[in-house]
Amino acid sequence: MHLEIVTPEQTLLSQEVNSVTLPGVTGEFQLLNSHAPLVSTLAQGNLKLDKGIELNEKVKAMFSDNGNKISLEIKGGVVECKDNKVIVLID
């Protein structure tokens, strides 16, 4: 699936991923390929991606290495998943 992580200032990431784990308001949830359409608000927490994703140096510095995942601390936001494309708008 194609993932875009967007802030008000810039697009941090735009590439193919296998999964993304997000901090929802009622708990953590994961999106995989061919997920049903979804729109949800996000809480403060960690956005997690599988290791091995190619990140440029500027973006790589924003992520933390947590074993088999890399994570990005977010303050909140919104996610939309439709037609195998996930757009995450973060603060």
Complete domains list, the chain, with CATH: 2-90 (2.60.15.10)
Model confidence over 32-68: pLDDT tens digits? Answer: 999 999 999 999 999 999 887 888 888 888 899 887 8
The predicted structure's pLDDT at residue 77: 97
Q: pLDDT above 90 covers what percent of the chain?
A: 77
The predicted structure's pLDDT at residue 54: 80
How far apart, in whole angstroms, are the C-alpha atoms of residue 46 and residue 44? Answer: 7
The predicted structure's pLDDT at residue 1: 94
Tokens of 78: 């919104």
Strand-pair partners of 70: 49, 65
Q: What value does the mean pLDDT of the chain take?
A: 92
pTM given for the model: 0.91
Q: Quick check: helix, strand or coil at residue 59?
A: helix
**Among all chains, which residue has been given the structure tokens 């939309």?**
80
